[in-house]
Amino acid sequence: MAYSEQDYQEISEQLQQVKSEINRFIVGQEEAISYTLYSILADGHALLEGLPGLGKTMLVRTISEVLDLSFSRIQFTPDLMPTDITGTNIIERTEDGRQKFVFQPGPIFSQMVLADEINRATPKTQSALLEAMGEKTVTILGDTKEMAKPFFVLATQNPIEMEGTYPLPEAQMDRFLCKILVSYPSKQELMEIMKRTTGAQEVELQKAMGWDRLLLAQKMVKEVLVADEMMEYAVNLVVATHPEGADILPEVKQYVMYGSGPRGLQSILKLAKARAVMNGRFHVSIADIKSVAKPALRHRIMLNYEGEASGKIPDDLIDDILSSVQQGVRS
């Protein structure tokens, strides 16, 4: 192993400082903060879903400041065009009077890109992010340009039942390492939010980790050990989401149209490794896998008509699967 136990302990302490600094400004939302950081550590993209006004945009902006990353925000609207995201070639006049094409980069060329209300844009514009998210490149008029390092897309969306939204295509949903549900704050959290946002005192965020240390943390995440029994347990969880499989839960057979593919398994293991590093460990535990199963799989389980009509949600089915799958084998 390239890194020592001391290295993991030191990076864990710095990551805890990052989280503490975020908590100085963001009230509550512990789960959203944790899983967003796991996604960043795992070098993946995250989708945050919640009602308007719950602080999704502020959370992403705060994380970018604490990690000292270049930041850009794209407000998705029905009239947004793909070139508004990627950029385009424009004609410029040279000193000798000639004209030439010069590439004008779009907001996608930042280390952290906030795709705000991504499901309010048309599918054509949503798909402009696919290449950048999957290959970390953008091709414009045959010219391929690389994204910044590190590069993350943190997208927010309103629940798809709301008016004026376009459901994300399955191919794009699958590009997100995890889907994070942003919950409504409690009464005590609402009180604290009012104190912090309506008073005269302002919180000045401190840089807790630079992009160079973040790249090091990502390398350390990849080195985290996964025992065979942990791998088998994660595989069994993913297989249990497939309605056509043998020995599958009746609820899955009845309500699921199709389950998670290999990317779901990759997401579970990447997020579990990131969680281990956050806790100063260089090996994945069963608790790591159970903790990340919902955000890794909830957007990869597609319900059939009966499931949607019955009001079922993927999280309930994942709970059933977690209860039925034992470490290494089905119960």
Other beta carbons within 10 Å of 146: 12
What is the β-pairing status of strands 87-93 and 99-105?
antiparallel
Tell whether the model's pLDDT for residue 158 goes beyond 80: no
What pTM does this model have?
A: 0.86
How crowded is residue 255: how many other Cβ atoms within 10 Å of its Cβ? 23
Q: Is 268 within 8 Å of 235 (Cβ atoms)?
A: no
Percent with pLDDT over 90 in the chain = 19
SS3 121: coil
**Cα–Cα distances in angstroms (integers) from residue 73 to residues 18, 57, 70, 84, in the given order:** 21, 9, 11, 12
Confidence of residue 329 (pLDDT cuts 50, 70, 90): very low
CA distances from 297 to 197, 213, 240, 276, 293 (A): 35, 29, 11, 19, 6
- Mark residue 164 as left, alpha or beta (left: phi above 0; alpha: psi -120 to 50; beta: remaining): left
CB 63 within 8 A of CB 112: yes
Structure tokens at 316: 């309930």
pLDDT at 297: 92
Dist. CA 163–CA 76, nearest whole Å: 15
Looking at per-residue confidence, does 58 or 241 come out higher?
241
Q: Write the burial class of residue 132 (CB in 10 Å: 0-12 exposed, 13-18 middle, 19+ buried).
A: buried
Contacts of 312 (CB under 8 A, 6+ apart): 251, 255, 303
pLDDT at 222: 92
> What's the pLDDT at 328?
47
- The C-alpha torsion from 285 through 179 and 270 to 17, rounded to 10°, is -80
3-state secondary structure of 143: strand
Q: How confident is the model at residue 330 (pLDDT cuts 50, 70, 90)?
A: very low
SS3 state at 66 = helix
The angle, 0 to 180 degrees and rounded to 10, between the axes of the packed helices 286-297 and 30-41 is: 100
Nearest to residue 292, comparing CAs of 330, 237, 249, 221? 237
Please state whether beta strands 45-49 and 152-157 pair in parallel, antiparallel, or not at all (unpaired): parallel
Contact of 290 with 322, CB cutoff 8 Å: yes
**Residues for the chain: how many in total?**
331
Domains and CATH numbers, the chain: 1-214 (3.40.50.300), 224-326 (1.10.8.80)
pLDDT band (50, 70, 90) for residue 325? confident
